[in-house]
Amino acid sequence: MHFNASLLGLFVCILGVSADSASATSLATCNPLETTGCSPDPALATSISDNFEKESSNYSPYRTPSRISYGDDGVSFTLAERFDNPSLVSNFYIMFGRTEVLLESASGNGVVSSFYLQSDDLDEIDLEWFGGIGDEVQSNFFSKGNTATYDRGEYHPMADARASYHNYTIDWKPDGLYWYIDGTLVRTLANNTSEGYPQTPMRIYAGVWAGGDPSNSEGVIQWAGGATDYSQAPFIMKIKSLSVSDYSTGSEYEYTDQSGAWTSIKAVDGKVLGREGDTPVEDSESNSSDSSEGSDSSSSTGSSSTNSSSGSTGSTGSTGSAGSTGSAGSASSISPAATTVSPSNSSLTATSSLTSKSSETETTLSTRLSSSSFNSSSSASTVSATKNVAPLLGGDFAAAAAVALTFVLSLL
């Protein structure tokens, strides 16, 4: 099925009128695999640690800033009413690296706490917690926005993530990806997966959102654990501390072509993997963390849990669309790094509450609308994506967008 250009234009016009001040910023993201001339990504090129006793210059509010607060316990993300999506995004990118977050997830059926890394070309590394089920966390990944399947998520059993802070580490290298919980390795992903491998510069997102909101598709609601009961609000996710190490150096990261391969990334005034093996954490803005929650992450051998069942018809909030261009992020394009680094023994100083996956779905919607054609199954996914944007943008715009897209699709 193909989009008629005039109908697509009508939909875009409706979106423009409806968005008003609640515009979706991620819809305007420049994807280097689809567009030339995208701005370079500002590099972190060091190691930092924030305890969020006060607002940090390293991160900016992404959604619902009025529901984000700082104090002795770090940063709190409060979902108090429908359409709240308090979330932060980093003001920097890392090109391979390590994140360590000390996080307490939110309670509440259908409430999703999220911590994830995402690149401009929709590579992605995820951790997500479900408020109705406190004794597990889901890890996931995507390459180049490919959501053709939802079978790469895995669930990991753990002590109640809602009852106390836990230490979560993501160690991202060119030859493998490693997830840790409280110092125990729970999942390893090789760089030769058939679904591709995340390998382009990434920002960090954290926040909480209502996956069980009635505006979402039934598949998303089921994945999130059921309908959200707003009468039980507020639902609060907390991050005690967050440490980030960039394994590369330089001032910016540039895409030199549209392959999506890590070898095509240029570190301006620096070197990709120039810091791997030399990544001490530096306190950021005197926001050091003295948490003793973390354990020795190098001694773990835990195995990953069973496959995710999030392949429901509704998007699980992943970013990419199956129709995105540039599939060179496949494993075949990756050369293993010359050296690998075992996770440090430092305690995790970060707490994760990822920005809603819905934010990624905004980009998915943009990507799918920019495609010249897509099949009927992806049109259903597009409707789902539009509904997923609802909690992020507020009721008026969300409703208008859903109605507009439904109307356009009905004319096809």
| DSSP character at residue 375 | -
User: Whose CA is closest to 244, among 97, 346, 345?
Assistant: 97
* Strand pairing class (202-210; 133-142): unpaired
Is the pLDDT score of 191 beyond 70?
yes
Is residue 252 annotated as a catalytic residue, yes or no? no
Tell me the CA distances in angstroms from 31 to 115, 200, 349, one per residue in order: 21, 12, 31
| Per-residue confidence band for 29, with pLDDT thresholds at 50, 70 and 90 | confident
Is the pLDDT score of 200 beyond 90?
yes
Mean pLDDT of 309-335: 31
Which has the minimum average pLDDT: 28-42, 92-106, 156-170, 183-197?
A: 28-42
Q: Is 257 left (phi over 0), alpha (psi -120 to 50) or beta?
A: beta
Is the pLDDT score of 141 beyond 50?
yes
| Per-residue confidence band for 374, with pLDDT thresholds at 50, 70 and 90 | very low
User: Whose CA is closest to 292, among 171, 183, 136, 157?
Assistant: 183
The per-residue pLDDT of the chain, averaged, comes to 73
Calpha distance 250→306 (Å, rounded): 39
- Condensed to tens digits (0 to 9), the pLDDT of residues 210-239 reads 999 999 999 999 999 999 999 999 999 999
Of 124, 154, 293, 362, which one is the catalytic site residue?
124
3-state secondary structure at position 60: strand
- Condensed to tens digits (0 to 9), the pLDDT of residues 82-127 reads 999 999 999 999 999 999 999 999 999 999 999 999 999 999 999 9
What pLDDT score does 288 carry? 35
Mean pLDDT of 319-331: 30
Fold topology of 38-356: Jelly Rolls (2.60.120)
Amino acid letter, 352: S
Of the chain, the percentage scoring pLDDT greater than 90 comes to 58
Between 48 and 374, whose confidence is greater?
48
287 burial (CB, 10 Å; 0-12 / 13-18 / 19+) is buried
CB-based contact 279:67 (threshold 8 Å): no
Which residue bears the tokens 């994760």?
Answer: 352
Is the pLDDT score of 13 beyond 70?
no
| DSSP character at residue 52 | -
- Condensed to tens digits (0 to 9), the pLDDT of residues 251-304 reads 999 999 999 999 999 999 999 999 987 655 444 443 433 333 333 333 333 333
What pLDDT score does 150 carry? 83
Is the pLDDT score of 243 beyond 90?
yes
Between 134 and 13, whose confidence is greater?
134
Output the DSSP codes for 87-124. Answer: EEEESSBBSSEEEEEEEEPPPSTTEEEEEEEEETT--E
Between 36 and 23, whose confidence is greater?
36
Tell me the CA distances in angstroms from 107 to 84, 135, 208, 238, one per residue in order: 15, 11, 10, 11
Is residue 128 annotated as a catalytic residue, yes or no? yes
Which has the minimum average pLDDT: 141-150, 205-214, 249-258?
A: 141-150
Mean pLDDT of 30-44: 96
Of 100, 128, 293, 362, which one is the catalytic site residue?
128
What pLDDT score does 297 carry? 34
Is the pLDDT score of 314 beyond 60?
no
What pLDDT score does 148 carry? 87
Is the pLDDT score of 382 beyond 80?
no
Is the pLDDT score of 176 beyond 50?
yes
Output the DSSP codes for 284-334. Answer: STT----------GGG--PPP-PBP---SSS--S----TT-S--TTSGGG-
Asked whether the whole model's pTM tops 0.85, one would answer no
Mean pLDDT of 193-214: 97
Which has the minimum average pLDDT: 37-46, 219-228, 331-340?
A: 331-340
CB-based contact 284:50 (threshold 8 Å): yes
| Per-residue confidence band for 149, with pLDDT thresholds at 50, 70 and 90 | confident
User: Whose CA is closest to 128, among 220, 188, 207?
Assistant: 207
Tell me the CA distances in angstroms from 123 to 33, 117, 233, 299, 403, one per residue in order: 11, 8, 33, 29, 30
| Per-residue confidence band for 52, with pLDDT thresholds at 50, 70 and 90 | very high
Calpha distance 199→95 (Å, rounded): 8
Is the pLDDT score of 45 beyond 60?
yes
What pLDDT score does 279 carry? 57
- Taking the domains of the chain in order of start, what are their residue ranges? 38-356
